[in-house]
Structure 1
Amino acid sequence: MPIVSSSMPERLRDDLDTFAEEHGYTGRSEVIREACESLLDEYRETDYEGQRVLATVTAVFGYDEPEIERRMMDIRHEFDASIRSNSHNCLEDNAGCVEMFVLEAAYEDALRFIGTVRGADESVSVEYTMVPADVMSAEIGQQ
């Protein structure tokens, strides 16, 4: 198997080693392989391919990080046509910031948006949900 090296903050490396030990992995390589497979599977063809989707995207990052906040603003402008709602909130005691987005977009554009937010900074944690937009239209029509 080829060897691939990766750079990461010490905290992440330490967390990775702890996770591997606590969950019975043979080492960090096994965890990284599984995480990479999971991420790549996420972007492979799905039932949403070619459809419009509604997505909620939550990004969490450190408090008072002007570069990340500036990058989030740039992303908002870049994807303005797809963003239906956006909010920025600071966590209690300035423990961090939460940027939330609601998108209505083609599935491929939503994935591109999520990848762009993930790429804003290595410290940004991103979670999302996605549903086909036509599901919402069908539910509204039934009422």
Structure 2
Amino acid sequence: MKRAKLEREALNKQRKQRSGEHCKNVTASARLLKPKDGKVAGVWNMLRGEMRRIRKQNEFKAWQCQIRDLSELDALIFGHLDQRRELSHEQKQQHQRQTDLKLTLTDEQRKYEQIRKHLQCFAKSRPSRNLDRER
């Protein structure tokens, strides 16, 4: 869980950094085309629709970045879900193995107790042989 949280935080940090870089690029390109102090080039760009084209292009790039960030986040989350599913499956298998082992040990203990009781009864019913007496 901690590793997954760290990975998400790293992805968010990376996304914010890319977002900041993108904002700098967008404002720089927009600044180049804006009319400055009544200059003819800026008015000409506005009349030609160059500013609108750049703005649409910047919006499209921002949308692409947002889609990329969401797909990276989805991939990360689905990867974590797959890992969690695998761990849960392994945990269930381990629990089943432990349950089976516990049943096996209980059966073996029961059999051992039966054999021990049988041997005790057998030893009581049979006269003890004392080899020193017979000599």
Q: Shorter chain as normaliser: what TM range?
A: under 0.3
| Structure with the largest fraction of helix | 2
Higher-Rg structure is: 2
Q: TM-score, normalised by structure 2?
A: 0.25
Greater RCO (CA < 8 Å, at least 6 residues apart): 1
Q: TM-score, normalised by structure 1?
A: 0.24
| Structure with the largest fraction of strand | 1
